[in-house]
Amino acid sequence: MNSFGVVVASTVEVGLRSDQEIVKLRQIVRDEAIAQGFSLVDQTKFVTAASELARNTLLYGGGGDATLNVLLNGTRKGLRLTFVDKGQGIPDIERALQDGFTSGSGLGLGLGGARRLCDEFEIQSEPGKGTTVSITKWKLR
Amino acid sequence: MDRIPILRMGDCLIVAIQVDMHDRLAIALQDDLTARIVKDKAKGVLIDISALDIVDSFIGRMISNTAAMATVLDAQTVVVGMQPSVAITLVELGLTLTGVRTALDVERGMALLKQRQR
């Protein structure tokens, strides 16, 4: 993934320590997606992906932080959302990305689903140290 | 804690979700609905989600589970008013709400419940 020429135009940080804060994050992401002129379907996809990952951060990461960036690449606009937690980490990322796999009580759709709903998806995790997940959606021109 | 109101009309229960639900609120609604099905001897449950601008896997699971629980309690569930962008996102997310009956609006949803009770 080539990030050459990508400029971060703005940054908002949101703490994720309760399910109320997941709702707050959804609203912030929705407002920014509207402000950047994303289509309704793309807004909905990105907000849904944000909600899935925020819940993972809360449930499996023991809480953490989300950072929302507005990206500019020439005339192209995008939104990037990065989730950071210092939880137990994911021992097998490939397995965690498979639909239906969960170490908790959910449906196991969160990670794989969030990846499908966005244009770019990156995940780094170290067992015992934490997980960082980043999703990006570019506005269609 | 906030609660989502459940209305009764004849032998149907009607819920209109008008707020962006946090997870505990969704679980509370599921508990309240199943309790009310038994208390009111309801035969149908109509859930209007037209005001929801996202349904993620958690809320989707709540809807599926509620429908399954209602079936076990001898009541039918219809989910109405899903926005097209929500439908597109749900399917791409991998959630198809198998076993959940849907209708485009409240009127069609009520008609479906009435028809199935005969």
Pairs of residues, one from chain A and one from chain B, whose beta carbons lie less than 8 Å apart: 70
Q: Does B2 touch chain A (CB under 8 A)?
A: no
End-to-end CA distance of chain B: 38
| Mean pLDDT (whole number) for B103-117 | 92
Phi and psi torsions of B20, nearest 5°: -70, 105
Question: How confident is the model at residue A66, as a pLDDT?
Answer: 97
Q: Single out the residue of B1, B34, B3, B31 nearest to residue B17, CA to CA.
A: B3
Using alpha carbons only, give the angle A116, A120, A122 rounded to the nearest 5 degrees: 100
B57 Cα to chain A: minimum distance (Å): 7
**Who's near B60: CB < 8 A, 6+ residues apart?**
A107, B90, B93, B95, B97
Question: How confident is the model at residue A77, as a pLDDT?
Answer: 94
pLDDT by residue (tens digit) across B45-73? Answer: 999 999 999 999 999 999 999 999 999 99
Contact across the interface for A106 and B55, Cβ inside 8 Å: no
Question: How confident is the model at residue A1, as a pLDDT?
Answer: 47
pLDDT by residue (tens digit) across A66-113? Answer: 999 999 998 899 999 999 999 999 988 888 888 888 877 677 788 999
Categorize the per-residue pLDDT at B8 as very low, low, confident or very high, splitting at 50, 70 and 90: very high
Contact across the interface for A44 and B24, Cβ inside 8 Å: no
- The span from the CA of A118 to the CA of B74, in Å, is 40
| Mean pLDDT (whole number) for B101-107 | 96
Within 8 A of B52 by CB-CB distance, chain A residues are none
Categorize the per-residue pLDDT at B98 as very low, low, confident or very high, splitting at 50, 70 and 90: confident
ipTM of the complex model? 0.90
Residue of A nearest to B21 (CA): A23
A131 Cα to chain B: minimum distance (Å): 21
pLDDT by residue (tens digit) across A2-20? Answer: 557 889 988 999 999 999 9
pLDDT by residue (tens digit) across B19-38? Answer: 999 999 999 999 999 999 99
Residue-range domain boundaries for chain A: 6-138
For the question of whether the overall pTM of this predicted structure is more than 0.90, the answer is yes
Q: What is the CATH number of domain B6-117?
A: 3.30.750.24
Residue-range domain boundaries for chain B: 6-117
Q: Does B61 touch chain A (CB under 8 A)?
A: yes
Query: Which tokens belong to A38?
Result: 């994303």
Question: How confident is the model at residue B1, as a pLDDT?
Answer: 63
Q: Does B65 touch chain A (CB under 8 A)?
A: no
| Average pLDDT value over all residues in chain B | 94
Given CATH 3.40.190.180, say whether it is the number of domain A6-138: no
